[in-house]
Amino acid sequence: MSPDASGAARIVIAIDGPAASGKSSTAQWVASVLGFRHVDSGALYRAATAAAVRSGAAPAEWTEDLVLRVAANVTLSPRSTSFAPCIEGVDVESEIRGAEVTRHVSRVAQMPRVRTWVNSLVQQAATRHDIVVDGRDMGTTVFPKATLKVFLIADPWERARRRLTQQIGRRPTEAEIAEETDRLVHRDAQDATQTVQAKDAVLIDTTYLTQPEQVERIVALAKAVTQRGSDTSPVDDHAS
């Protein structure tokens, strides 16, 4: 654990995995059970993408410089158990979940300096709070010494079914699930380079688990690890 300015040790629980594997909702829940804060790294890539959409430039014209310029208006605003993604200080949580942002976010996430920008915001949050952070590369690049690393996977069809149920608030049809599965598998392929299971991550397949069951498992792992204690820093000084 790394000492912060006040000398207190900070705990980092890193939850990674492919699209719609339940990382964010699980991370949020685990954070509230443990009294930590949830940091959603994907929300920052999404907010940068939403800011680029707002710029009015055609997505094909988005350069790394343009995205970084508009991302300067993106911040994470602290909440009791999370951080709200904001553009110009206004919460954009629902805007960043829209289809247009989802369609373009993977390309924005390939931009190296955008990744450096996200990683540094996420690492800053960990200097001030114990966090549960979720994404693709939290346990590998951003927090190679995280207190606990979890990699969540689930069958693509089940991930698509859950994501749609959450979005449309009713039971999706088979045809809708098939279409969403195609979109998820396509995004998984675009995100494959950065979606890596750390060697020391605990792999949890949630296909046949309920959400309370997966939360319970991660909370139990976190309690076991934090009780055992650690004298290592969750933040690698060289991570970008």
Please list the residues that pair with 149 across neighbouring strands.
14
What 8-state DSSP symbol labels residue 7?
A: S
| Sign of the CA dihedral running 168, 171, 175, 181 | positive
Closest CB 199 distance from ligand CDP, rounded Å = 18
Q: Does 187 participate in binding ligand CDP (rule CB under 6 A)? A: yes
Distance CA(82)–CA(37), nearest Å, equals 5
Closest CB 22 distance from ligand CDP, rounded Å = 9
Question: Which of 10, 46, 145, 161 is close enough to bind ligand CDP by CB under 6 A?
Answer: 46
Q: Which is nearer to ligand CDP, 25 or 226 (CB)?
A: 25
Helix 41-54 × helix 23-34 angle, to 10°: 130
Q: How many residues does the chain have?
A: 240
Closest CB 30 distance from ligand CDP, rounded Å = 15
Question: Which of 191, 198, 201, 218 is close enough to bind ligand CDP by CB under 6 A?
Answer: 191
Question: Which of 20, 50, 121, 204 is close enough to bind ligand CDP by CB under 6 A?
Answer: 20
Closest CB 110 distance from ligand CDP, rounded Å = 8
Q: Does 214 participate in binding ligand CDP (rule CB under 6 A)? A: no
Phi, psi of 105 (to 5 degrees): -65, -35
Residues numbered 79 to 138 that lie near ligand CDP (CB under 6 A) are: 105-106, 109, 135-137
Q: Where are the beta strands (DSSP E) in the chain?
A: 2-3, 9-10, 12-16, 37-40, 74-78, 83-87, 90-91, 131-135, 148-153, 202-205
Q: Which is nearer to ligand CDP, 3 or 240 (CB)?
A: 240
Q: Which is nearer to ligand CDP, 188 or 216 (CB)?
A: 188
Q: Does 146 participate in binding ligand CDP (rule CB under 6 A)? A: no
Closest CB 174 distance from ligand CDP, rounded Å = 21
Distance CA(143)–CA(126), nearest Å, equals 10
Distance CA(145)–CA(139), nearest Å, equals 7
Instruction: Tell me which residues touch ligand CDP (CB under 6 A).
Output: 19-20, 24, 41-42, 45-46, 105-106, 109, 135-137, 187, 191, 194
